[in-house]
Structures are given as structure tokens and as C-alpha cells.
């Protein structure tokens, strides 16, 4: 029998410590007992074959695997015949689960932390556990592997020498547009996560604020229905109603063009007209100042003129 979580254990072959195993393509392999510590193990983002041998050895050799959803992680351990003890650790139970995991570490156990997909701590609550484990003097060991951020960057055909990972944007439109206006000023490729039910709205907002930039929509990376669509943001937004919205999305947005910090007057007018269709003058000006680099007084004056023209064209006084 393998050691229970919380026990003191030694290396493979030590008296009272049975070897652990995992299976790859029908071949059963021995895994060394993991030395005490917290292991941050990257798991596949879609295709279950995208896991390293070191990750399999670690998952087979630890006493406990802490995971976001035990059902999802069980599919992985079942695929590789890993007899693992799983415990849930996610944003809703972290406050109560974290002390229990730290107690296990204090007793000399080895614990692997995994997310549902990809590298732990990327858009999940694991960093608090890592901080407290480090503060308590426990070893923290990274077992690197798949990451949807890096996978999307590698296939987007956009500059990768400098990038900014935003994670998920705000779900509310006003907050999302305000954040996109801030992101527009960053001189780097942007990487954004988005859900299928919001991706069309996000593309419309991106078109208003960064429409001329090149971008890529990466859907269902490494899975059976993987799809990469590359074009300008404006073109992607125009065809948004034709995109499949099921699945998981990573949006990669190219950096602003060189010398694009000061927006041309005709471009500013286009941005303001688009914003004024949806936003108040105040909000439109705030967003336009962020993306254009032009003085607020100038943008405000132009917004008033365009708003007046818009009312006149609709027959209003």
C-alpha cells in the first residue's frame, strides 16, 4: 500500500515504502517517492498526451494531489493509472483547505498542486498556498509543462519578445472598455482569456479601441476542434457572428504600431464616432484620450462637435 497523506516516507525501496507506478502506452513504470514539499505540476490544457514524464512521476510519487476539480484531475490520473489521493483546492474552499494542506506539509508529506488545465497559479488561487508554504519553510518545486498563454503566443504569428498577460477581462461592458483603454497603451503583445458567451462583445469593444491591430483568436487549443483565426481586430469583429462560441478562448493582440502613440485626427474622429454610438460624451472622451495619446481638452472639444453633428444628422435640435 502506498503511504497515506501526512506520513513520513523515504525513497523508493526503503523499508515500509512500496514503489509507486504509472502507465504510459501500456508500459508500467516505477516512480520514485517524492521528497517532502509542495510540487506545482503543469497538466495538459486539452490533449491528455501533452504531459511530461516528470509530471507523471511526480503525480504518482506524492502523497496527495490538490486540484481545482477532482473529477477533471481523476480523468488524468485514470488515463495514466495513477493511484492518487485527490483533495479539492479552489477559490471557493481555499480558506479552509489551505491550512489542512499546510498541516500535511508540516508533517512531512509531499503534495502536488494542479489546476484543471495548464500551469498552476495562472488565473487560479494557488499563489496564496505557495506564499504560505514558502513562509513556513517548505520546499516549493515547479514541474513545468503546458500553458495556454505560451501556446497561444506560439501560434498567433505575432511578436513575442515582449507580452502582457491580462487574464480574464471584466464581465461588465463599461469596466471592460475602461480596462481595454488602459491596455491599449501597453507597448507589447497582449494575451487575454475570454469565455465563449462574451467573446463577440469583447471583439466589438476591441474593434472600437484597437481595431487596426493584428490579432489571433485561439479556440480550444490542443483539442480536437482547435481553431486559430488571424486577422486585424476590426476584421475579426466584423466576422464575430460567424465564429463558433463554444469552447475556451485565448485572444492574442499585437502591439501598437511604431510611432502610433499619437493618433491622427481622422482616426480620432473614427474612434470617437464609434464610442459615441454607445457611450456618453464623458466616457467616450476618457476612452479616446487613453488610446489616442492626445490632450483631453482637444479630444473633449472634438467629441462635442461630433456629438452635435450626430444629433443634427438625426434631425434633433
pLDDT given for residue 261 in this prediction: 54
Confidence of residue 16 (pLDDT cuts 50, 70, 90): very low
29 - beta bridge partners? 22
Residue at which a domain ends, from 111, 146, 181? 146
Using the predicted structure, report yes or no on whether residue 102 has a pLDDT greater than 80.
yes
| Contact status, residue 177 vs residue 287, Cβ threshold 8 Å | yes
pLDDT given for residue 241 in this prediction: 80
Residues of the chain with pLDDT > 90, as a percent, come to 64
Write out pLDDT tens, residues 232-287: 999 999 888 877 888 899 999 999 876 555 677 887 888 898 888 888 998 888 88
pLDDT given for residue 221 in this prediction: 96
Q: Which residue has the higher pLDDT, 99 or 8?
A: 99
192 with 248, same domain?
Answer: yes
Please give the model's pTM, rounded to 2 decimal places.
Answer: 0.77
pLDDT given for residue 233 in this prediction: 93
Which CATH number goes with the domain that contains 76? 3.40.1010.10
Q: Is residue 1 part of a domain?
A: no
Helix (H, G, I), strand (E, B) or coil at 12: coil
Q: How many CB atoms lie within 10 A of CB 241?
A: 9
Q: Is residue 156 part of a domain?
A: yes
pLDDT given for residue 12 in this prediction: 38
Q: In terms of DSSP bridges, do strands 248-253 and 189-195 run parallel, antiparallel, or are they unpaired?
A: antiparallel
Using the predicted structure, report yes or no on whether residue 293 has a pLDDT greater than 90.
no
Q: Is residue 33 part of a domain?
A: yes
167 with 278, same domain?
Answer: no
Domain count, the chain: 3
pLDDT given for residue 11 in this prediction: 39
Grid cell digits, residue 243: 465564429
Residues of the chain with pLDDT > 70, as a percent, come to 90
Q: Which of 121-130, 139-148, 184-193, 226-235 has the lowest mean pLDDT?
A: 121-130
Segment 180-204 mean pLDDT: 92
pLDDT given for residue 65 in this prediction: 98
Using the predicted structure, report yes or no on whether residue 71 has a pLDDT greater than 90.
yes
How is 274-286 classified by DSSP, letter by letter? HHHTTS-HHHHHH
pLDDT given for residue 5 in this prediction: 34
Cα distance between residue 164 and residue 169, in whole Å = 13
139 with 27, same domain?
Answer: yes
125 with 172, same domain?
Answer: no
Using the predicted structure, report yes or no on whether residue 6 has a pLDDT greater than 60.
no
Residue at which a domain ends, from 231, 253, 275? 253
Segment 199-224 mean pLDDT: 92
Grid cell digits, residue 262: 499619437
235 with 169, same domain?
Answer: yes
26 with 142, same domain?
Answer: yes
Using the predicted structure, report yes or no on whether residue 9 has a pLDDT greater than 60.
no
Which CATH number goes with the domain that contains 221? 3.30.950.10
32 with 120, same domain?
Answer: yes
Buried b / exposed e along 257-280 (16+ C-beta atoms within 10 A): eeebeebeeeebbebbbbbbeebe
For 287, the domain range is 265-313
Q: Which of 66-70, 97-101, 174-178, 241-245 has the lowest mean pLDDT?
A: 241-245
Confidence of residue 312 (pLDDT cuts 50, 70, 90): low
202 with 242, same domain?
Answer: yes
The runs of H, that is alpha helices, within 120-222 are 126-135, 148-155, 173-183, 199-210
Q: Is residue 295 part of a domain?
A: yes
- Phi (first) and psi of residue 268, to 5 degrees: -60, -40
Residue at which a domain ends, from 146, 168, 186? 146
132 with 30, same domain?
Answer: yes
Segment 26-55 mean pLDDT: 96
219 with 285, same domain?
Answer: no
Q: Is residue 5 part of a domain?
A: no
Using the predicted structure, report yes or no on whether residue 15 has a pLDDT greater than 50.
no
Q: Is residue 6 part of a domain?
A: no
44 with 141, same domain?
Answer: yes
pLDDT given for residue 208 in this prediction: 85
Q: Which residue has the higher pLDDT, 130 or 180?
A: 130
| Contact status, residue 100 vs residue 133, Cβ threshold 8 Å | no
Confidence of residue 314 (pLDDT cuts 50, 70, 90): low
Amino acid at each position: 500500500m502506498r503511504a497515506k497523506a501526512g506520513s513520513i516516507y523515504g525513497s523508493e525501496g526503503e523499508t515500509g515504502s512500496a514503489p509507486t507506478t504509472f502507465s504510459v502506452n501500456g508500459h508500467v513504470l516505477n516512480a520514485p517517492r517524492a521528497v517532502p514539499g509542495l510540487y506545482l505540476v503543469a497538466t495538459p490544457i486539452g490533449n491528455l498526451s501533452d504531459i511530461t514524464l516528470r509530471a507523471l512521476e511526480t503525480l504518482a510519487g506524492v502523497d496527495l494531489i490538490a486540484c481545482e476539480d477532482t473529477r477533471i484531475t481523476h480523468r488524468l490520473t485514470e488515463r495514466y493509472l495513477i493511484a492518487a489521493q485527490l483533495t479539492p483546492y479552489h477559490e471557493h474552499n481555499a480558506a479552509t483547505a489551505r491550512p489542512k494542506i499546510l498541516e500535511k506539509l508540516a508533517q512531512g508529506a509531499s503534495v502536488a498542486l494542479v489546476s484543471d488545465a495548464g500551469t498552476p497559479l495562472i488565473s487560479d488561487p494557488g499563489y496564496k498556498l505557495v506564499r504560505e508554504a514558502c513562509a513556513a519553510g517548505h520546499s516549493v518545486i515547479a514541474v513545468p509543462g503546458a500553458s495556454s498563454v505560451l501556446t497561444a503566443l506560439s501560434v498567433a504569428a505575432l511578436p513575442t519578445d515582449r507580452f502582457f498577460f491580462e487574464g480574464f477581462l471584466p464581465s461588465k461592458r463599461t469596466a471592460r472598455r475602461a480596462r481595454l483603454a488602459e491596455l491599449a497603451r501597453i507597448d507589447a503583445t497582449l494575451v487575454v482569456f475570454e469565455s465563449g458567451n462574451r467573446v463577440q462583445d469583447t471583439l466589438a469593444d476591441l474593434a472600437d479601441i484597437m481595431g487596426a491591430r493584428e490579432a489571433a483568436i485561439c479556440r480550444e487549443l490542443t483539442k480536437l476542434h482547435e481553431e486559430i483565426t488571424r486577422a486585424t481586430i476590426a476584421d475579426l469583429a466584423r466576422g464575430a457572428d460567424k465564429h463558433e462560441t463554444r469552447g475556451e478562448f485565448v485572444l492574442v493582440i499585437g502591439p501598437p504600431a511604431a510611432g502610433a502613440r499619437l493618433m491622427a485626427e481622422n482616426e480620432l474622429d473614427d474612434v470617437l464616432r464609434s464610442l459615441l454610438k454607445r457611450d456618453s460624451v464623458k466616457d467616450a472622451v476618457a476612452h479616446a484620450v487613453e488610446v489616442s495619446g492626445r490632450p483631453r481638452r482637444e479630444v473633449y472639444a472634438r467629441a462635442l462637435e461630433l456629438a452635435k453633428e450626430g444629433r443634427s444628422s438625426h434631425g434633433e435640435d
